[in-house]
């Protein structure tokens, strides 16, 4: 209900709202989101006997405003809304009516306090936020043909809001990974960057840059005409390896697209057999640089069969289920299996009578990882699309993702999802504008 006051009646209030540029800007922005998802979620929650005060949609709009306006703290969000009371009405907060007030309600009493804004951010349902993000992907699919055929994966570091990340503050055990920080008990210590520094004697020493925080994994797609789109996101404490983000991101990506990506691309941190496996199942490739992870490099034939140190093609014997979850193939010395050939060999294992033995991951993805031609035009064209994640990360950084001013992991994750929603809404607005222009040309 539009309030009325001794100063403005309802018709005047409606006119003020319709003419306010800030209100109109946010109406246009919010019109690109599917609010029926929020209404349905809220109805289901209310039917379980949990009365709601302010609608969840009002809080979501307030948090999206906070990110768009670059407001770091809940106090700043509250102050902004108090300066724009027409937004409070339009966001559908439950108003505390006061006919003597200029706009017919008490804005100070209507808005939640700073603490409750923070508590509501922490307790937002992550599944609801993911549904809202997925809805933006569906809307983008309707505007961009072929979206999601190639998907790029990457992880961005985030600094937790703790004194341990402030190098000017004295902390006795700054990098003790076993401690639980008072400023944010959910954040973890991880390595942001590792470099080798040359010492005066010519040797090198590894230097690690550590931080307490989180990682924000993102799956993105790009097109030359429409730009970059977020397909999925996932937040974890910073002590988790980059490759652990892949499966959750891939699953969320498939749910959002209602199909599986054909091609995958990522940096060398994602060089794992199961990344290639997902691509090969669906007739594509995983454009990922080869990373031996410190293991010895041994030669393979073009079909993935290992060669012994004497460059001989080894003989396959038995297959078995490896403890790491993949099907493994054992290869033995070709001079001894399947029958001894009588040809001598000076290798130490041959002298022991058993010859060389290699147990090889024999899944399709593992064979693609080894046999993939990383100089081919197909590989290069797909790998260049990895930069879409870098551009998405740059947009997210401008929206404040790198330094979240909250004190727990749930709030960090929820803010991250809302940031990617904003990025997708901007992409959707751009796509609609481009398509409208194309229709007018025809």
Query: Is residue 46 one of the residues assigned to a domain?
Result: yes
DSSP for 60-121? HHHHHHHHHTT--SHHHHHHHHHH-HHHHHHTT----B-TTSTTSB-HHHHSPPHHHHHHHH
Residues 115 and 157 in one domain: no
Range of the domain at 76: 10-123
Split at pLDDT 50, 70, 90, the class of 442 is low
User: How confident is the model over 22-60, as pLDDT tens digits?
Assistant: 999 999 999 999 999 999 999 888 755 555 589 999 999
Residues 91 and 205 in one domain: no
Cα torsion 171, 174, 179, 184: sign: positive
Q: What is the pLDDT of residue 230?
A: 98
User: How confident is the model over 241-290, as pLDDT tens digits?
Assistant: 999 999 999 999 999 999 999 999 999 999 999 999 999 999 999 999 99
Residues 56 and 163 in one domain: no
What whole-number percentage of the chain has pLDDT above 70? 94
Residue that the structure tokens 């054909």 belong to = 262
Q: What is the pLDDT of residue 7?
A: 79
Query: Is residue 335 one of the residues assigned to a domain?
Result: no
Stretch 343-354: mean pLDDT: 90
Of 49-53, 218-222, 431-435, the poorest mean pLDDT is in: 49-53
Query: Is residue 207 one of the residues assigned to a domain?
Result: yes
Residues 139 and 101 in one domain: no
Stretch 303-324: mean pLDDT: 92
Q: What is the pLDDT of residue 3?
A: 80
Residues 139 and 184 in one domain: yes
Q: What is the pLDDT of residue 420?
A: 98
Residues 111 and 159 in one domain: no
| Residue at a domain's end among 101, 123, 145 | 123
Stretch 14-27: mean pLDDT: 94
Q: In Å, how far are 175, 248, 274, 280, 365 from 325, measured between CA atoms?
A: 34, 17, 10, 18, 13
Query: Is residue 167 one of the residues assigned to a domain?
Result: yes
Q: How many domains does the chain fold into? A: 2
Residues 50 and 164 in one domain: no
Alpha-carbon distance of 286 to 250, in angstroms, equals 13
Of 58-67, 167-176, 405-414, the poorest mean pLDDT is in: 167-176
Residues 163 and 251 in one domain: yes
Output 314 or 6, whichever has higher pLDDT: 314
| Residue at a domain's end among 104, 123, 142 | 123
Alpha-carbon distance of 419 to 235, in angstroms, equals 12
Tokens linked to 121: 């951010």
Query: Is residue 379 one of the residues assigned to a domain?
Result: no
Cα 221 to the center of its chain, rounded Å:
12
Split at pLDDT 50, 70, 90, the class of 63 is very high
Residues 132 and 243 in one domain: yes
| pLDDT above 70 (res 204) | no
Residues 113 and 207 in one domain: no
Helix, strand, coil shares of the chain as percentages rounded to 5?
A: 45, 20, 40
Instruction: Give pTM, 2 decimals.
Output: 0.91
Query: Is residue 364 one of the residues assigned to a domain?
Result: no
| Residue at a domain's end among 91, 123, 155 | 123
User: How confident is the model over 83-109, as pLDDT tens digits?
Assistant: 999 999 999 999 999 988 888 999 999
Query: Is residue 166 one of the residues assigned to a domain?
Result: yes
Residues 107 and 143 in one domain: no
Cα 357 to the center of its chain, rounded Å:
41
Alpha-carbon distance of 291 to 304, in angstroms, equals 16
Query: Is residue 110 one of the residues assigned to a domain?
Result: yes
| pLDDT above 70 (res 368) | yes
Residues 146 and 235 in one domain: yes
Q: What is the pLDDT of residue 66?
A: 98
Stretch 395-424: mean pLDDT: 97
């Amino acid at each position: 209900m539009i309030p009325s006051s001794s100063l403005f009646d309802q018709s005047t209030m409606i006119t003020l709202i319709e003419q306010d540029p800030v209100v109109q800007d946010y109406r246009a922005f919010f019109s690109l989101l599917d609010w029926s998802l929020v209404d349905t979620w809220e109805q289901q929650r209310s039917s379980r006997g949990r009365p709601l005060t302010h609608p969840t949609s009002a809080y979501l709009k307030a948090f999206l405003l906070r990110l768009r306006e670059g407001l770091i703290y809940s106090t700043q969000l509250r102050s902004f809304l108090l300066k724009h009371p027409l937004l409070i009405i339009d966001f559908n907060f439950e108003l505390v009516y006061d006919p003597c007030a200029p706009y017919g309600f008490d804005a100070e009493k209507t808005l939640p306090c700073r603490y409750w804004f923070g508590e509501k951010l922490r307790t937002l349902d992550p599944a609801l936020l993911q549904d809202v993000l997925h809805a933006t992907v569906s809307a983008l699919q309707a505007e961009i043909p072929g979206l999601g055929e190639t998907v790029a994966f990457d992880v961005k570091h985030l600094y937790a809001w703790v004194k341990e990340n402030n190098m000017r503050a004295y902390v006795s055990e700054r990098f003790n990974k076993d401690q639980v920080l008072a400023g944010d008990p959910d954040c973890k210590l991880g390595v942001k960057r590792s470099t080798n520094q040359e010492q005066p004697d010519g040797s090198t020493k590894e230097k690690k840059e550590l931080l307490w925080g989180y990682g924000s994994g993102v799956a993105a797609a790009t097109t030359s005409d429409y730009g970059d789109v977020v397909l999925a996101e996932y937040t974890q404490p910073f002590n988790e390896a980059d490759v652990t983000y892949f499966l959750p991101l891939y699953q969320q990506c498939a749910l959002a697209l209602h199909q599986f990506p054909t091609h995958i691309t990522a940096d060398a941190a994602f060089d794992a057999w199961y990344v290639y496996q997902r691509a090969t199942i669906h007739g594509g490739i995983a454009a990922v640089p080869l990373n031996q992870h410190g293991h010895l490099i041994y030669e393979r034939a073009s079909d993935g069969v290992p060669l012994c140190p004497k460059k001989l093609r080894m003989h396959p014997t038995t297959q078995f289920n490896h403890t790491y979850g993949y099907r493994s193939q054992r290869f033995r010395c070709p001079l001894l299996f399947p029958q001894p050939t009588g040809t001598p060999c000076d290798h130490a294992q041959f002298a022991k009578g058993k010859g060389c033995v290699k147990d090889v991951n024999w899944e399709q993805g593992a064979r693609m990882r080894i046999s993939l031609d990383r100089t081919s035009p197909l590989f290069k064209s797909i790998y260049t699309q990895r930069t879409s994640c870098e551009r998405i990360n740059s947009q997210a950084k401008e929206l404040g993702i790198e330094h979240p001013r909250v004190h727990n992991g749930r709030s960090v994750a929820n803010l991250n999802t809302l940031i990617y929603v904003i990025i997708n809404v901007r992409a959707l607005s751009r796509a609609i504008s481009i398509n409208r222009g194309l229709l007018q040309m025809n």
